[in-house]
Amino acid sequence: MLMRTKYLFPYKSRFWGLFFILAHILVMHIWRTRFHDDADRELHGIPNSPVLFNPGHLFFIATSLLVLIGLFLIAFSKEKVEDEQIGQLRLDSLRWAIYFYYLTLVLSIVFTNGIDYIDILRLNTWAPLLFFIIRFRWVIFRLNRSLV
């Protein structure tokens, strides 16, 4: 069973995803150099004000969405040549990403608590997509290298 390509984004969506991730990195760098410790406190769920949607929390939401949308676009955009073998590699990489996700989730539930647990759960929101992208690109790289 192969992944259907009609559910994938166009090839150029990958570049938009890369743009969103680079924008996130730039914005996070500016935020951290400007606000220092206050930014770290707010990003780790320790708000300086009792308001639910304080600027630090809104910033966290915005930058998290940038990363998630960027990774999603990179992970699920078509290749230039999308054939059955690429579909099978994509499906296999997705399977390994799910294995990785549940392994890290189980380990984080068993071995952490408190604020560390919350940080690991935040990490688990984007780590499966990142693992999928890395593994998929690595398998394609190895495939292309073996053809030469």
Q: What is the pTM of this model?
A: 0.77
Which of 47, 78, 109 is the last residue before a domain boundary?
A: 78
CA distance 102 to 128: 9
Residue 113 — φ and ψ, nearest 5°?
-155, 170
Domain count, the chain: 2
Residue 9 — φ and ψ, nearest 5°?
-80, 160
Which of 78, 103, 132 is the last residue before a domain boundary?
A: 78
List Cα–Cα distances, 93 to 34, 35, 49, 78, 124, in angstroms.
39, 39, 43, 15, 17
Shared-domain flag, residues 107 and 138: yes
Which of 78, 111, 126 is the last residue before a domain boundary?
A: 78
CA distance 33 to 66: 19
Boundaries of domain holding 16: 9-78
Assigned domain for 66 exists: yes
Shared-domain flag, residues 26 and 60: yes
pLDDT digits (tens, 9 = 90+) for 98-135: 999 899 888 888 888 777 777 777 778 888 999 999 99
Assigned domain for 3 exists: no
Predicted local confidence at residue 97, as pLDDT: 94
Mean of per-residue pLDDT scores for the chain? 82
| Band (31; pLDDT cuts 50, 70, 90) | confident
Shared-domain flag, residues 86 and 67: no
List Cα–Cα distances, 126 to 70, 130, 133, in angstroms.
10, 6, 11
C-beta separation of 24 from 66 below 8 A: yes
Q: Classify residue 49 as exposed, middle or buried by CB count within 10 Å of its CB (0-12, 13-18, 19+).
A: exposed
Shared-domain flag, residues 65 and 93: no
Assigned domain for 30 exists: yes
Shared-domain flag, residues 84 and 145: yes
Shared-domain flag, residues 83 and 148: yes
Assigned domain for 1 exists: no
The whole-number average pLDDT for the span 78-91 is 90
C-beta separation of 100 from 127 below 8 A: yes
